[in-house]
Amino acid sequence: MATAEPDVSGTPAADAVGDVLSPALRSLLATLRLRPRHAPGRQGIGHHASRNRGSGLEFSQYRAYESGDEPRQIDWKLYARSDRFFVREAERDSPVRAWVLLDTTASMTQADEAAPTRTRFDVARLLTTCVYEIAQRQGDACGLVLCGGAGVALVTPGTGPRQRDRLRHALAAVRPGGEWPEAKALAPAWGRIARGDLVVAIGDWFDDTAVEQLVQLANAGRDVTALQVLTADERDFPFRDGRRFVEQEAGESLLGDGPALRADYLARFETARRALAARFAAAGIRFATHVIDTPPATVLGALFGDRAP
């Protein structure tokens, strides 16, 4: 969607992607799972073939106890020495891998007029961190693909604290801008995403070229989930005066009267969203929408909770 002037295109400070998860959100993430629809095998314990954690497996690392962890995972000998709760994590190798495909085009810099310092990209970046934390907790390797005007950047899937640092660094360094890359630029990254890999694609998905790329990934045997991130202004169109609406990627603008445009805009926007949902469904892509003025818990639970499709 075009944004209404004044245009807010700044990006947050790099340290905004540090430890941004609240205790409540971390507790929720402990209950969620990334579930492939067609796991390549059933070895090991857990919800799917992955690097599973638990007793009797190869030790990986200690980490601080968090709400939602099972008490049996606590290392009580270490507690006796340190007076702090730590959890032992163990893992076993598995072919299952997860990727977050993040839209970093110019439209991701859009913000609501009521909250101009919170961009669509801020929220998409938080959701990316949440997906990685879910994968980390259940022992799955997780990688990152950034797609925007600067081209394509890739972080190879991995696990553990070093991988968390790699992902945080990549998210902190990226500056959204430009348009969705051409298919030729995407081909090397697409070749790294293997058949059966989980792909969680996070963006606004207004660009038909980007949507077609997701459909092609799904048709090629990748397990794709599309998470659309919308602004509240896109959902509500609250403008009550004359505006210049700016298409951020193409730079085109349109003068219009907010109240006069509202009914037609809302109808067209809903029609477009239903068409997008139908297109994804036809390709076997799971689809959900998140509006940036709402807590992320609802959409994360819908996609990755016990009742997730």
Domains and CATH numbers, the chain: 3-35+95-304 (3.40.50.410), 58-91 (no CATH)
Tokens matching residue 86: 């730590």
CB 4 within 8 A of CB 273: no
Rg from Cα positions in the chain: 20
The answer to whether residue 195 scores a pLDDT higher than 50 is: yes
Q: Alpha carbon of 292 to those of 100, 224, 237, 282: distances in Å?
A: 18, 22, 14, 27
**What pTM does this model have?**
0.77
Give tens-digit pLDDT for 119-145: 999 999 999 999 999 998 888 999 999
pLDDT-derived band at 3, boundaries 50, 70, 90? very low
pLDDT at 239: 83
Q: Measure CA 203 to chain center.
A: 8
pLDDT-derived band at 12, boundaries 50, 70, 90? very low
pLDDT at 209: 93
pLDDT at 60: 53
CA dist., res. 221 & res. 23, Å (int):
36
The answer to whether residue 111 scores a pLDDT higher than 90 is: yes
CB 127 within 8 A of CB 229: yes
**Residue 292: which of 34, 109, 21 has the closest Cα?**
109
Tokens matching residue 273: 């969203």
Tokens matching residue 284: 């076997």
Instruction: Quote the longest CA-to-CA distance of the chain.
Output: 69
Sequence-separated (6 or more) residues with CB below 8 Å from residue 40: 49, 95, 96, 196
CB 139 within 8 A of CB 130: no
pLDDT at 137: 87
Give tens-digit pLDDT for 25-52: 999 999 999 988 765 443 333 344 444 4
pLDDT-derived band at 11, boundaries 50, 70, 90? very low
**Residue 137: which of 72, 53, 58, 57 has the closest Cα?**
53
Q: Which residues pair with 64 in a beta bridge?
A: 86
Percent of residues in the chain assigned helix, strand, coil, to nearest 5: 40, 25, 35
pLDDT-derived band at 89, boundaries 50, 70, 90? low
pLDDT-derived band at 98, boundaries 50, 70, 90? very high
